[in-house]
Amino acid sequence: MLDLTPKGEYERTALRINPCKTCQPVGAMYAALGVHGCMPYSHGSQGCASYHRTFLSRHFKEPAIAATSSFTEGASVFGGGSNLRTGARNVFDVYNPEIIAVHTTCLSETIGDDMNAYIQDLDIPEGKHVIHTNTPSYVGSHINGYFNMMSGFIRYLSAKSEIHNGRVAVFPGFVNPGDMREIRRMAKAMKTPITLFPDTSGVMDAPMTGHFAMYPQGGTPLGDVIGLGDCMKTIALGELTSEEPAIELERKCGVDYDLLPLPIGIDATDRFLMTLAKSFNRDVPYELEEERGQLVDVMLDAHFYLVGKRVAIFGDPDTVIGLTAFALELGLVPAYVLTGTPGERFDRRVKKLLAAAGVDEETVRVKSSGDLFELHQWMMDAPVDLMIGTSYGKQIAKALDVPFVRAGFPILDRYAHPYFPIVGYRGALRLFEQIANAVMDRQDRDCADEDLEVVM
């Protein structure tokens, strides 16, 4: 498998092979699903919407609902205004959402559809809403689509009144429902009221009840999205994912924000909890201190299996930054750190982590807007002991016989992963178990029979 990949590399600017990202509308659709009673709406061809829904469904193993303007040749030539008017009316009549969240596609962006004008021309039922965001598929990645949709909700809906609501808005970044549940659990343990936006827990991990619900119980309530402007402050988790909507909320409603990394690992989780504690003048409860101590304990117990092991990390930018920080805390040596999402801030952020840990950045390959063909070539030239990333790395792991830990988005070939967090101390404990077991399983597989120990 992949045995025709050549060693060495050359610079490619107009071609990506085995991309490490997908397109903006996928992220926009996922963000919209994090608002209760929301129908994502793809303004483009039916095939685009089908692909985006399928991509999400394969990761979450849950149906991702969405409607579409169903462009044909006529809409491609004369514009999709008529399709949107008919489609929105049908969606409200048949599916009765509280809100329709429209995102564009490469087709509607290329022909230049004026979404503001189209939406102003819609006959929207009383008490219902239609918002939009622009998500051209040929720019950025699903991460850009995610924060663009968040910004769209804020731009259309969020408002400031005369009274603070006593809450902190928390933007969780592009993470799984299990991560969002963990963020809410930690905030509850701190006795700090938050508004989590978006919140796909209870939507993309909804329970089997025997009855279909078009809009499951989860998701951020629409009233809470409107009330974001009355929050005391915003904690934006994921420096490359959550800053844009935090800026939009500050610009529109004057809500200050703290920009933090995703709380993956010890230091980043500490920073999140201390920011919550300072915001409400609270102490961190023993419950969370205990979890932190347990994590530190197991890291110390098994550190000699991990220290010095070379690791390749790839995936979404904020997730990769968090995984790199945690790898450094474990004593792993990041050899290759790659994301498919464009942006030089990723390179600078990773290099800052490396410098703080005393790692010579010249010994580490760091790249944004990269692809997995490139990563494969790097690993052929200088092998690693471990890979951490999405399902699209499995062929490389098999070809080079490298232990592989799945983390991030998408994970298409395994089950139940969206239910389990990688954020917080509990999430780090789970990551540690996966990483340590992968390394120790490889040691057991490769050692001589007389060295195969039962007690480690």
103-135 pLDDT, tens digit per residue, is 999 989 998 989 999 999 999 999 999 999 999
- Find the length of the chain: 456
* Average pLDDT value over all residues in the chain: 95
> What's the maximum distance between 2 C-alpha atoms anywhere in the chain?
77
The gap from C-alpha 449 to its chain's centroid, in whole angstroms, comes to 43
Q: How far is 133 from 150, CA to CA, in rounded Å? A: 9
Q: Identify the residue whose tokens are 């935090």.
A: 246
Beta strands in 91-128 (DSSP E): 99-104
Question: Nearest Cα to 434, choosing from 401, 368, 387?
Answer: 387
Query: pLDDT-based confidence at 374, cuts 50/70/90?
Result: very high
What letter does residue 331 receive in the DSSP assignment?
A: T
User: Model confidence over 405-452: pLDDT tens digits?
Assistant: 999 999 999 999 999 999 999 999 999 999 999 999 999 999 999 889
Residue 317's CB: how many other CB atoms inside 10 A?
Answer: 29
The percent of residues above 70 in pLDDT, for the chain, comes to 100
Question: Nearest Cα to 62, choosing from 200, 180, 206?
Answer: 206
**How many CA within 13 A on the CB side of residue 409?**
30
pLDDT at 400 over 60: yes
Q: How far is 115 from 107, CA to CA, in rounded Å? A: 13
Residue 67: enclosing H or E segment and its boundaries?
strand 67-68
Q: Greater confidence, 170 or 13?
A: 170
User: Model confidence over 237-255: pLDDT tens digits?
Assistant: 999 999 999 999 999 999 9
Q: Identify the residue whose tokens are 């995984």.
A: 323
What domains, with CATH codes, occur in the chain? 24-157 (3.40.50.1980), 168-285 (3.40.50.1980), 290-451 (3.40.50.1980)
User: Model confidence over 318-365: pLDDT tens digits?
Assistant: 999 999 999 999 999 999 999 999 999 999 999 999 999 999 988 999
Residue 428: enclosing H or E segment and its boundaries?
helix 424-446
What letter does residue 228 receive in the DSSP assignment?
A: G
Query: pLDDT-based confidence at 1, cuts 50/70/90?
Result: low
